[in-house]
Chain A
Amino acid sequence: MGELTYRQAVAAGIAQEMERDETVVMLGEDIGSAGGVFKLTEGLIDRFGPERIRDTPISEQAIVGAAMGAAMTGLRPIAELMFSDFFAVSWDMVANQIAKTRYMTDGQVALPLVLRTANGAGLRFGAQHSQSVENWVMAIPGLKVVAPSTPADMKGLLAAAVRDDDPVIVCEHKALFAEKGEVPDGEHVVRLGEAAVLREGSDVTLVALAAMVPRALAAAERLSVDHGIDADVIDLRSLIPLDAQAILRSVAKTSRLFTVEENPRVGGWGAEIVSLVADEGFYSLDAPLVRITTPHIPLPSAAALEDLAVPSVDRIVETVTRRLDEAR
């Protein structure tokens, strides 16, 4: 095991796959000599050359479209969208072309491509560079979506995304780039569609994703120490495919579910989880299903406001204790 930052784990995952498979190529804005605006691809151009690490103009439709054309014809491209908010300027490619073409052609083409993108709040960039949009892509049939919370998962899920024969969106969380963690030595791949149970408890289930995972874990510690509430904490890791069984197993044990979501409220990923548990886990429930989310607003830029908007450890603890009191 060695320690890497989440940021270094991105490059490590890409390098691991490029080393192994010469059909893996990459394209995006400033990813070459500049090493990426977040320094996520630093050193890759020296190692793999400008033919495999290709700088592009500011042309998100062309970036995503070119990745699709390359994936249809024998390559495994990794396209970088600098900010996930930029899905909006490449949305036809993402939602209409990449997602639908295999189905529309009755399986004539496979699209083994990865779209990596910096997602989420924490850097005070304001509404057009900070939003959590994993629920946008999750809503489109034909796209797989992962959002790692640790350096090890960052490397392992990125590797799995490259090896997968379908389009996979990798949401890399901006607030986690500097976080350090142990990453297994040698080849490391984490299967898509497997949630991780990070903490075992019998009183409540907290389901979280990406930057909300460390907050859910911190909240679970406080709930345990200060309130005697023992939480199961599930890191979903992957929205599509979804590890529904991991959630249902946990709720069967705890009878209480809270989702912790950074995306704006309406149509957030937790709504699907809650609906699934209401349908398939109803008879094990002892309390309302509660979603802890960012309000249904564009994200503000001021630190004080952004911190109020996104679920915090305090808000998770307060919500869980209040809602459990109400249910008693």
Chain B
Amino acid sequence: MATATVAPAGLDRETGLTLYRLMQECRLLETRAQELFFEGLVRGTTHLGVGQEAVAAGFAVAMRPDDYTFCTYRGHNHNIARGVPLAPILAELFGRSTGLLGGKGGSMHLTSVEHGVLGSYAIVGAHLPIALGAAWSAQYRRSGQVAVCFFGDGTTNIGAFHEALNMAAVWKVPVVFVCENNQYMEYTPIGAVTAVARPAADRASAYGLDPIVVDGNDVEAVHAAATEAIGRARDGDGPSLIEAVTYRHGGHSRADPGKYRPDDEVAAWKARDPIPAYRARLEAAGVDASELDSIDEATRAKVAAAEEEARAAPEPTAEVLETQVWADGTSRWRN
């Protein structure tokens, strides 16, 4: 990254292994979810973040347990990285009663308040103002919490992006806006529909913010950028806008093979896969390959157990259909 302002930090061994494990959990869960989509077990739609795991892991590890995550319909990774258990995630994708949302939300809305994930939002841009509001609340309550809001490159062209960035900067609230620039707005190259080369960073100056670009496939670089921005927010120095440059290995959603992308481009980015790259770095730093192998093995077993649990779960039944519209648990609108 020519314009990268954040360099890898050189992390301690335990943190490094955690980052590696979280990236593998994301990768193996999502890879299996895609297979199960083709088997017909995962219904509706999925949007995979395969290739983008370093952003989710790097940030999650830099966050405090009570910090808030807001993410998009491409949000499995962000839930997993915050520690949301895998079985309820898969069960939600299967449409089962033990799903994270009881079968009412689906893949695009994974939420786990107890893990700090305040939602996956499926209308592009919607969650930027909402994250700003959570940060405003933290500021007002003097809780020291920070909201981290992940979104794609396409989001930088919708009005809510502008409204949220401006108001967050004016109010100086503790929020970190993270653009996961995976180069494609659904099926269209982001450069073809955006007036500037860096969709997020080149807009930062409009809000009085520094342009920050980080290699989104380098988990330690992401972790360093996250630590710095979250620290600034927690210290009362206001919002940041970070552009993490990365790549989606697969298509936009469901069965999209992503054929609108040149083969050599895909190959080049796959050669920069964040997980093998980080494995190599850990080994070079003295971590034994067998230790990483055992993490891989344990993660595979964890995904398999989650799948087994989700497969065994029943479908939701009629008695939950009309619940939880209101805070009293009901959907009553008349007497």
Contacts and interface: CB of A to CB of B under 8 A. Distances in A.
B217 to A, nearest CB: 30
B130 A66 contact: yes
B188 to A, nearest CB: 21
Contacts of A241: 332-335
A62 B163 contact: yes
Interface in B94-144: 101-105, 109, 111-113, 118-119, 121, 123, 126-138, 140-141
Nearest to A105: B111
Contacts of B325: 102-103, 141-142
B301 interface: no
A96 B123 contact: yes
A104 to B, nearest CB: 4
A245 B334 CA distance: 8
Contacts of A276: 334
Interface string A307-319: 0000000000000
Interface string A234-262: 00000011111100000000000000000
A233 to B, nearest CB: 20
B50 interface: no
B106 to A, nearest CB: 8
Interface range for A:
35 or more
Contact of A66 (B105, B123, B129): B129
B121 to A, nearest CB: 7
Given A54-B171, A97-B126, A106 B101 contact: yes
Interface string A155-167: 0000000001110
Nearest to A110: B327
A26 to B, nearest CB: 12
Contact of B109 (A67, A105, A244): A105
Nearest to B141: A74
Given A59-B166, A69-B134, A240 B333 contact: yes
A75 interface: yes
Interface residues of B, number: 52
Given A106-B104, A107-B323, A69 B133 contact: yes
Contacts of B225: none
Contact of B137 (A69, A97, A164, A242): A69
A243 B166 contact: no
B289 interface: no
B327 A102 contact: yes
Contact of B130 (A65, A104, A165): A65
Contacts of A64: 129
Contacts of A105: 101, 104-105, 109, 111, 113, 119
A276 B333 CA distance: 13
B298 interface: no
A70 interface: yes
Contacts of A240: 333
Contacts of B105: 104-106
A107 B145 CA distance: 23
A54 B320 CA distance: 39
Contacts of B112: 108
B130 A97 contact: yes
B96 to A, nearest CB: 12
A93 interface: yes
Given A57-B163, A65-B130, A66-B129, A92 B123 contact: yes
Interface in A169-213: 193
Nearest to A59: B163
Interface in A65-121: 65-75, 77, 92-93, 96-97, 101-110, 112
Nearest to A194: B335
A65 B171 contact: no
A99 to B, nearest CB: 9
B133 A65 contact: yes
Interface string B69-107: 000000000000000000000000000000001111100
Interface in B166-193: 166-167, 170-171
Contacts of B126: 65, 92-93, 96-97
A278 to B, nearest CB: 15
Nearest to A69: B133
A106 B133 contact: no
A51 interface: yes
A56 interface: yes
Nearest to A73: B137
A209 B121 CA distance: 35
A257 to B, nearest CB: 16
Nearest to A276: B334
Contacts of A72: 118, 130, 133-134, 137
A93 B129 contact: yes
Contacts of B335: 193, 241-245
Nearest to A113: B133
Nearest to A75: B137
B246 to A, nearest CB: 26
Contact of A62 (B68, B132, B329): B132
B121 A97 contact: yes
B164 A70 contact: no
B159 interface: yes
Nearest to B165: A62
Contact of B170 (A57, A75, A92): A57
Interface of B: 68, 101-105, 109, 111-113, 118-119, 121, 123, 126-138, 140-141, 145, 147, 159-160, 163-164, 166-167, 170-171, 320, 323-329, 331-335
Given A62-B129, A93-B129, A243-B334, 10 more contacts: A57-B166, A66-B129, A66-B167, A69-B118, A69-B135, A102-B327, A105-B113, A109-B111, A142-B326, A244-B334
5 interchain residue pairs of minimum CB distance: A69-B133, A65-B129, A165-B327, A66-B133, A106-B102
